[in-house]
Chains A and B, each alone.
Chain A
């Protein structure tokens, strides 16, 4: 009789011990929430053309990334809105003729009505706008023509600061207004990014 119970216990112990040795299953992982991505840094396409036009005799172009996230409050105040993730840094292409700094080029990408609009802000050595060039856009023909109009672009030349670039007066189309805001923002970011100017 005892042998029977002993065998029963032995028989029952095998699955129990195996159960205890079993590893617990892995937990399910929740799917990651969708997070909109920031646009990548705007490139400067075909730099030769702008350098030839605006900075003849260029011997060197240096790329400088200015991190502006530490100046968020000032940025918010000057922009008059919450800065975009893309505006937390500014890539400047510093143009040199030998040791002399001729100016810099700020490639910027903004959200246009029908797609991204990329433009270049060419600044002279004193920080005044030398030229604005539309690098890429995705707008209907009429809007494209309005943006590429020489006199409209030329109106920005010589402006030193965002304060000198007046806001859109309502006569411009939406794409022009956005580019104007983009140019103002570029000047603000440039001013904030200048070493020693905004501690």
Chain B
């Protein structure tokens, strides 16, 4: 049956090639746009994750002032209770909630201020740019400190050195020195959160909770939930990106609609081809029926023909999309904001398989009418008409 359908297809090669080219173009467009948009969203998400945090829980007050102070490595006058951290970590949208306790120790004789930051392992998870010391844990002991690049250079400290804070009257061991990363972290002294809480008399308090979400799309709903924590307010660090993702979602819907139109158009092309082939081959199908072929068998021949046509188109489309994707991306790269230098297009097996399945389903649907018509002919009437 497959062989018969295949032979039927190539009886009119030009017509077959034109129809499958239509399917190929439509599926290539679909695959490219989906692969590109998925890659673009992945890149934006990666950029967000490189930012480390997507939102921050800070004590009530001016949220932007608080967020700016914490990001700049400055202390806040008020703090959050540790229960806020528990609630943040329990939120289903939150992947990581990292508490920070910032404290400033002015050294007026030196015209400088020592900035200490208490944090735990989760804080390091939010700082992917950190090149922290290699080893088992972030802070091997409660008196460990990790120094920012500037802090270490000015204090001439290396991993393993002692470090004394006269104001705290506490001796620390330098567990590591961060590589310069151009952020306020360069000037900070990082210590275990529990140590900072003890030294700065802030038991069970934190200055801020930095939050990374499981999916940036969950930003709004998570912000709404976390904003209900008493005494806390949410500052989203990705407002610009959030707006951008919203625009991207709209563009994605728009492009998806266009590609669906292209796919439907190609489906109509397949329908036209099958219908004309059915009309053309009416005597042959009638002869088959007269020779003993059942209606389902004739129906299946036309159906298989449609499936083969669609499969051929999708395969060619997938190959074209994968080969031309990079080239088209190069042409468009100058016009893509936030990802000018990134390689975005990636044809995933999932998208390809989904496209193939959609094409097969579409082919099956478009083949129903021609197949029904081909199998519904009364052999006697047709043969009589022919005679």
**Known interface pairs A16-B323, A18-B320, A111-B156; 17 further A-B residue pairs with C-beta atoms within 8 A, sorted by A's residue number:** A3-B13, A14-B320, A15-B323, A19-B323, A22-B323, A22-B324, A23-B330, A36-B177, A37-B149, A37-B152, A38-B153, A114-B164, A115-B155, A115-B163, A136-B107, A139-B166, A144-B166
Residues of A within 8 A of B110 (CB): 45, 135-136
Distance between B343 CB and nearest chain A CB, rounded to angstroms = 6
- 9 smallest CB-CB distances across A and B, nearest first, come from A114-B164, A18-B324, A111-B156, A19-B323, A4-B13, A22-B327, A116-B156, A22-B326, A37-B153
- Given the known inter-chain contacts A11-B17, A15-B316, A22-B324, please indicate yes or no for A138 contacting B153, CB distance below 8 A: no
Residue interface mask B271-309, A partner, CB < 8 A = 1? 000000000000000000000000000000000000000
B308-323 interface mask toward A, CB cutoff 8 Å, 1 = contact, 0 = none?
0000000010011001
Residues on the B chain within 8 Å of A135, using CB:
110
A-B contact pairs, 6 of them (CB 8 A): A4-B10, A14-B320, A18-B324, A40-B154, A140-B166, A144-B166
Q: Which residues between 126 and 182 of chain B lie within 8 Å of chain A, taking CB atoms? A: 131, 149, 152-158, 162-166, 169, 171, 177, 179-180
**Best-surrounded residue of B21, B154, B180 (most CB of chain A within 10 A):** B154
Does any Cβ of A come within 8 Å of B350's Cβ? no
Closest to A25 in B: B343
Give min CB distance, B174 to chain A, whole Å. 10
Chain A's closest residue to B165 (CB) is A138
- How many chain-A residues does the 8 Å CB contact rule pick out? 38
For A46, the chain B residues whose CB sits under 8 A away are: 109
Distance A22 CA – B328 CA, assembled complex (angstroms): 8
Task: Give the interface of A toward B (CB within 8 A).
Answer: 3-4, 7, 11, 14-16, 18-19, 21-23, 25-26, 32, 34, 36-40, 45-46, 109-116, 135-136, 138-141, 144
Q: A7-B14, A23-B330, A37-B180 in contact; A114/B171 too (CB < 8 A)?
A: yes
The distance from the CB of B291 to the nearest CB of chain A, in whole angstroms, is: 28
Q: A116 and B17 in contact (CB under 8 A), knowing A18-B323, A18-B327?
A: no
Residue B86 is within 8 A (CB to CB) of chain A in the complex = no
How far apart sit A16 and B320, CA to CA, in the bound complex (Å)? 9
The interface centre, meaning the residue of A3, A21, A22, A113 with most chain B CB atoms within 10 A of its CB, is: A22
Whole-angstrom distance from the CB of A168 to the nearest CB of chain B?
19
Cβ contacts under 8 Å, A3 to chain B: 13-14
What bracket does the count of chain B residues touching chain A fall in?
A: 35 or more
A142 to B14, CA, bound (A): 96
Distance (Å) between the CB of B303 and the closest chain A CB? 24
A133 to B374, CA, bound (A): 105
Closest A residue, CB atoms, query B318 = A15
- Asked if A140 and B180 make an inter-chain contact with CB atoms under 8 angstroms apart, the answer reads no
Chain B neighbourhood of A110, CB < 8 A:
156
> Contact residues of B with A, CB < 8 Å?
10, 13-14, 17, 21, 107, 109-111, 131, 149, 152-158, 162-166, 169, 171, 177, 179-180, 316, 319-320, 323-324, 326-327, 330, 343
Is A40's CB under 8 angstroms from B323's CB?
Answer: no
Complex partner residue of B324 from A4, A7, A15, CB under 8 angstroms: A15
Chain B residue contacts of A34, Cβ below 8 A = 131, 179
The answer to whether A40 touches B166 (Cβ under 8 A) is no
Question: Which of B156, B164, B177, B319 makes the CB contact (< 8 A) with A139?
Answer: B164
Which A residues are in CB contact (< 8 Å) with B164? 114-115, 138-140
Residue of B nearest to A136 (CB): B110
CB distance from A47 to the nearest CB of B (A): 12
Shortest Cβ distance from residue B333 to the other chain A in the assembled complex, whole angstroms: 10
Chain A residue with the shortest CB-CB distance to B177: A36
* CA gap between A18 and B28 in the complex, in Å: 13
**Cβ–Cβ < 8 Å partners of A21 in chain B:** 324, 327
Q: Check if B319 sits within 8 Å of A15, measured CB to CB.
A: yes
Evaluate contact between A113 and B162: CB separation under 8 angstroms. Answer: yes
Residues on A with beta carbons closer than 8 Å to the beta carbon of B153: 37-40
Q: Which A residues touch B162, using CB under 8 A?
A: 113-114
Nearest chain-B residue to A36 (Cβ)? B158
CB neighbours of A37 from chain B (8 A): 149, 152-153, 180
Alpha-carbon gap, A25 to B153, bound state (A) = 38
List chain A residues, Cβ under 8 A from B155. Answer: 115-116, 138
Contact A114-B163, Cβ < 8 Å, known A15-B320, A21-B327, A22-B323: yes
Q: Which residue of the partner chain A has the closest CB to B164?
A: A114
A18 to B323 alpha-carbon distance, docked (Å): 6
| A120 CB, min distance to chain B CBs, angstroms | 13
Residues of A close to B330: CB separation below 8 A? 22-23
